[in-house]
Amino acid sequence: MAEIRTGELMNMKHGRPPVLMPGFSFGSVTDKIANIVIAERTPLAWWLTFLPCAMLVGVLGTAVTYLFYRGVGIWGINIPIGWGFAIINFVWWVGIGHAGTLISAILLLLKQTWRSSINRFAEAMTLFAVMCAGMFPLLHMGRPWLAYWMFPYPSTMTVWPNFRSPLVWDVFAVSTYFTISLLFWYVGLIPDLATLRDSAVNRWTRMIYGLLALGWRNSARHWRRYESAYMLLAGLATPLVLSVHTVVSFDFSVALVPGWHSTIFPPYFVAGAVFSGFAMVLILAIPIRKLYGLEELITMRHLDNCAKVMLSTGLIVAYGYLMEAFFAWYGTSQYDKYLSWNRAHGPYAPVFWLLILCNVLIPQLLWLRKVRYTPALLFVVSVFVLMGMWFERFVIIVISLHRDFMPSSWGIYIPTRWDWAIFAGTLGFFMAAFLLFIRLLPMITIFEMRMLVHETSEEVKAS
Amino acid sequence: MTPPVYGLMAEFATAAELLQATRRAYTEGYRRMDAYSPFPVPDLAEALGVHSDRVALLALTGGLLGGSGAYGLQWWINKIAYPINIGGRPLHSWPSFIIVTFEMAVLFAGIATVFGMLALNGLPMPHHPTFNAPGFEGASRDRFFLCIEAIDPRYDAAGTRAFLEGLNPAKVVEVAN
């Protein structure tokens, strides 16, 4: 009998490309993804990206060692700007870490089939971004070896954490988010690890993937519990995604500092997080699909959808900026009014205007179909969005702190080379970890692609 | 002592054939059997007679334990172990305790879901007799299998083989234990 293949169209209406190009069978879609890991040679481009990133990891190690030796005085932070790069980068990385679980959990519950090709690597991206984020509060502590004081445990000092502080909430929010994202990612990987075990030719490869696959044997009884567990995790992760950046925004909005004490912070932070997360997904997906020839699996439809999510969350973020200005103008606080003026005209005004350019003006290009369907342009817009979101955190932290209530306590913050070294180091760590992931694990969920082949096949459509 | 034969395994080319074969085997009276497919096939577990799983119950239990434990711990710390006045709030200032309660409820529910699912599935289990079946690697690629186990009361080497052969499989093999 004829082999099952994907049907001609998933959704060609309105001239949109399908989520999986026609002509794939269970076997060919499996080989396409699994062979990247187990059969093909590592592409030269992989090495050319990995080596500089690995060097940046070395820079990170050096900078952190020196930081532990000398203390946080090597950074540009001072009083009043005690937070500086450490917290800017923390918030930025956590924000990027939102797209993964959003794609895997919320889009799963909404039955969006286009999530299948991008959820695995978006989840990996989430994990690495949250790792980068997690480093910063630890490094910022000054005495990172006492980090365990943040957790409630019966200590000989008989003191306990202050559970009324958003900083303690943050410890719980970020660590829970990381753990649940890791579990979600690993559960998704189990059947694919079994596929790698069964396709491996080399004995060691088979043993390693076999151990990681936990003996998964594709039993229907197992699949049933597996699907229940996966849906439950999606349901649990959905409110979690929204809660993480909400809690991060409480770190600011619960304080009284002008520019922080605002009720719009939670939704505006969550939208900003999704905005930057999808920008990172596009930045990773566009070169990868080209390099590994995955255009038939990660189609223009995926890029188009990501761009639309970016555009809509970008508009929410822009609305947030508008409302901050409106509250300052309409409210009665002279400090809020001054803050708004200071953002646009003070010593850090260029950063504020760059933020408006990158986050509000440039993303409007995404209204044009031509931009959404040209990967190179989409890539450039995404880079601007990521820079814009970083500037946003700079504006929120540095501009708000550097001039608060009393002019006698005003100050200026200038990041040092060590600030930059650690930031660049985490960028290198993120990319190096991500490259290792695409080299060692299937970057697209193979069994879900087989499901997609099944659902779109002529056999099912005929019945 | 384990019997030398684990069961008889029939291989099919499509999900629809496997589903149909499983339904026939269930109607025939076989119960100790399992189907294997490279992706979750809708209704296949039901065809095997599985109508509920306890994963959701475990998730609920984990969530309730995590949430109530976290709230109880915060109450105990702030009210009894270490009562301090912060901003004039009552010692039992419940709105501040909600976030950690929520996070811990999600964390414990998630952990219970994943480890509960693995435990109910009997995983990790690196070796299983089904892996002895020739060509079983296809179960994680593009082939569909139905295995009737030798411990089924209705199992009979010749009769069961004849029954499976009648389902139009690609092939039927005996699985060593």
CA A103 to CA A58: how far, in whole Å?
32
Residue A6 has a pLDDT of: 52
Instruction: Locate the chain A residue with the closest alpha carbon to B22.
Output: A220
What would be the CATH architecture of the domain defined by A13-462?
Answer: Up-down Bundle (1.20)
How much is the ipTM here? 0.91
User: Contact at 8 Å (CB) between B10 and B24?
Assistant: no
Kindly list the distances between the CA atom of residue A277 and the CA atoms of A162, B41, B114, in Å, as whole numbers in the listed order. 31, 32, 26
3-state secondary structure of A222: helix
Q: How far is B91 from chain A (nearest CA, A)?
A: 10
Q: Give the B window 91-110 contacts with A, CB below 8 Å.
A: 93, 96-97, 99-100, 102-104, 106-107, 109-110
On the CB side of A238, how many CA atoms lie within 13 Å of its CA?
11
Of A273-277, B58-62, B132-136, the poorest mean pLDDT is in B132-136
Task: Report pTM.
Answer: 0.90
Q: How far apart are CA A187 and CA A227, in angstroms?
A: 10
Rounded distance, CA A65 to CA A60, Å?
8
Mean pLDDT of B121-146: 86
Distance from CA of B24 to the nearest CA of A (A): 16
For residues A128 and A130, what is the distance between their CA atoms, to the nearest angstrom? 5
d(CA B98, CA B105): 10
The answer, for B158 touching chain A at a CB cutoff of 8 Å, is: no
**Measured between beta carbons, which residues in chain A are less than 8 angstroms from residue B140?**
191, 194-195, 197-199, 216, 218
Specify the pLDDT at position A283: 93
Locate the domains of chain A by residue range: 13-462
Residue-level pLDDT at A362: 94
**What value, to the nearest 5°, has the Cα angle with vertex B86 and ends A261 and A172?**
70
pLDDT of B1 above 80: no
Of the candidates B40, B78, B131, which has its C-beta nearest A217's C-beta? B131
Handedness of CA B69, B74, B75, B77 (dihedral sign): positive
**Grouped pLDDT means (10 residues each) for chain A, 463 residues:** 47 63 80 81 89 95 94 91 92 90 82 82 92 92 89 89 90 92 92 89 87 90 91 90 91 89 90 92 91 84 90 94 91 90 93 94 93 92 95 93 90 93 95 93 88 73 51
d(C-alpha B52, C-alpha A428), whole Å: 47
Distance from A354 to chain B by nearest Cα, in Å? 35
**What burial class does residue A346 get, using C-beta atoms within 10 Å of its C-beta: 0-12 exposed, 13-18 middle, 19+ buried?**
middle
Distance CA A112, CA A455 (A): 13
Q: What is the CA radius of gyration of chain B?
A: 25
Sheet with strand B144-149: strands edge to edge: B33-36, B144-149, B5-12, B171-176
Nearest CA in chain B to A237: B106
Closest chain B residue by Cα to residue A214: B124
Confirm if A37 and A441 have CB atoms less than 8 A apart: yes
Does A447 contact B at CB distance below 8 Å?
yes
pLDDT of residue B166: 84
Cβ contact, residue pair B131, A25, below 8 Å? no
Amino acid symbol at A226:
Y
pLDDT (0 to 100) of residue B48: 85
Q: According to the model, what pLDDT value does residue A106 have?
A: 83
CB atoms B55 and A168 under 8 Å: no
Read out DSSP for B51-107?
Answer: ---SHHHHHHHHHHHHHHHHHHHHHHIIIIIS---STT--SS-GGGGHHHHHHHHHH
What is the CA B92 to chain-centroid distance, rounded?
Answer: 42
Contacting B residues, span 34-73, partner chain A, CB-CB under 8 Å: 34-41, 44-45, 48, 50, 53, 55-56, 59, 63, 73
The pair of structure tokens assigned to A50 is 């990995």
Phi, psi angles (nearest 5°) of residue A249: -70, -25
Is the CB of residue A210 less than 8 Å away from at least one CB of chain B?
Answer: yes
pLDDT at A11: 46
